[in-house]
Amino acid sequence: MADATNTNDDVWKSDRMVANWVAGTGARERHRSRHRRLMADLLPFDRDEPFTFVDLGAGTGAATRAVLDAFPRASAILAEYSAQMAAEGGRALSSYEGRYRYVDFDLAQGDWPADLPTGAPAMISSLCVHHLPDERKRALFAEIWDHLAPGGWYFNYDPVAAGDPVVEAAWLRAGDRQDPDAEASRRNRSPDEQQRHENHVRYIIPLAPQLAFLEEAGFEAIDVYWKQLDHVIYGGRRPSGRASG
Ligand SMILES: C[S@@+](CC[C@H](N)C(=O)[O-])C[C@H]1O[C@@H](n2cnc3c(N)ncnc32)[C@H](O)[C@@H]1O
């Protein structure tokens, strides 16, 4: 049943909301760029190896660009359901012409479009899986496993919930000390900012069940490859079918 309080589609398919989101990109991306680079560095390819990866909920392609920069012969398929985000992505990716294409895909549904390949050597997602209800997260990880090649990797960069008020308070305390504007922005949100915040936190859950969903889907080499306060990079590999390696 549809969740009437879920404003996800309203946010990501609104010209105004997407324009606001894009306007804030520069400030947000400054501290994210090294996390995105780490996710690229976790991929098991030689620097000059050609391969095509899938970025799920790709937005304007920030995670995609980190991989394309790290692997100059790689190509990307960006799965995204917001025409507004894809249009902004076309501008942000103009210098990567010929190395990417967008595919229309609503991750909240399980119908993978035919133009998303099976047998992908790698899939990534960033700052998107937390927009999905838990049952979709669980099903999506199984669908990703099905669409990966044996030995293919999946990494997700996302926020997680603390699941413990004392831990959450510690995360907030450290976050506020590291960013002197954080507390004031939290207390003085505009209506748009409040709507985006509510959309952002609605389905954020702790880390443990997400790792369990990966395990249940059949991934191996599952790890939290990076974590700082409420942000993580976790992932795993579809078994290659060979003994190890
Ligand atoms: C916070 S942005 C992150 C974009 C990009 N991955 C990045 O790291 O900058 C969230 C993205 O998820 C997309 N998204 C949200 N729900 C989605 C869904 N059900 N299907 C496909 N994309 C979705 C939004 O349109 C938006 O582009």
Entry pTM: 0.94
pLDDT for 244 beyond 80: no
How large is the average pLDDT for residues 237-242?
90
**Domain containing residue 88: CATH number:** 3.40.50.150
In a domain, 115, yes or no: yes
pLDDT at 123 (0 to 100): 98
pLDDT at 176 (0 to 100): 94
pLDDT at 243 (0 to 100): 56
pLDDT at 4 (0 to 100): 61
How large is the average pLDDT for residues 77-84?
98
> pLDDT tens-digit profile of 112-146?
999 998 999 999 999 999 999 999 999 999 999 99
In a domain, 26, yes or no: yes
In a domain, 3, yes or no: no
Q: What residues contact residue 146 under an 8 Å CB cut-off, 6+ apart? A: 118
pLDDT at 3 (0 to 100): 64
Q: How far is the CA of 241 from the centre of ligand 1 (A)?
A: 32
Q: How far is the CA of 4 from the centre of ligand 1 (A)?
A: 19
Q: Could you give the number of structural domains in the chain?
A: 1
pLDDT band at 213 (very low <50, low <70, confident <90, very high): very high
**DSSP strands (E only) in 170-242:** 220-228, 231-237
In a domain, 39, yes or no: yes
Verify whether ligand 1 is closer than 6 Å to residue 89 (CB atom): no
In a domain, 129, yes or no: yes
Verify whether ligand 1 is closer than 6 Å to residue 63 (CB atom): yes
Which atom number of ligand 1 is nearest to the Cα of residue 200? 1
Rg over CA atoms, the chain? 18
Please tell me the distance from the alpha carbon of residue 50 to that of residue 75, in angstroms, as a whole number: 8
CA dihedral (117, 121, 127, 128) positive or negative: positive
Domain residues for the domain of 93 are 8-237
Q: Would strands 100-104 and 120-126 be described as parallel, antiparallel, or unpaired?
A: unpaired
Q: Mean pLDDT, the chain, as a whole number?
A: 94
In a domain, 126, yes or no: yes
Q: How far is the CA of 128 from the centre of ligand 1 (A)?
A: 5
pLDDT for 33 beyond 80: yes
pLDDT band at 24 (very low <50, low <70, confident <90, very high): confident
pLDDT at 194 (0 to 100): 87
Burial label, 133 (beta-carbon count in 10 A; 0-12, 13-18, 19+): middle
pLDDT for 58 beyond 50: yes
pLDDT at 26 (0 to 100): 87
Instruction: Yes or no: say if 83 and 58 are a contact pair by the CB < 8 Å rule.
Output: no
Please tell me the distance from the alpha carbon of residue 122 to that of residue 237, in angstroms, as a whole number: 9
> pLDDT tens-digit profile of 154-209?
999 999 999 999 999 999 999 999 988 889 989 999 888 888 888 889 999 999 99
Q: What residues contact residue 145 under an 8 Å CB cut-off, 6+ apart? A: 154, 217, 218, 219, 238
pLDDT for 7 beyond 60: yes
How large is the average pLDDT for residues 90-96?
97
Hunting for tokens 């190509």 — which residue is that?
Answer: 75
Q: What residues contact residue 68 under an 8 Å CB cut-off, 6+ apart? A: 74, 75, 76, 96, 99, 100
In a domain, 244, yes or no: no
Q: Tokens at residue 2, please?
A: 């549809």
In a domain, 1, yes or no: no
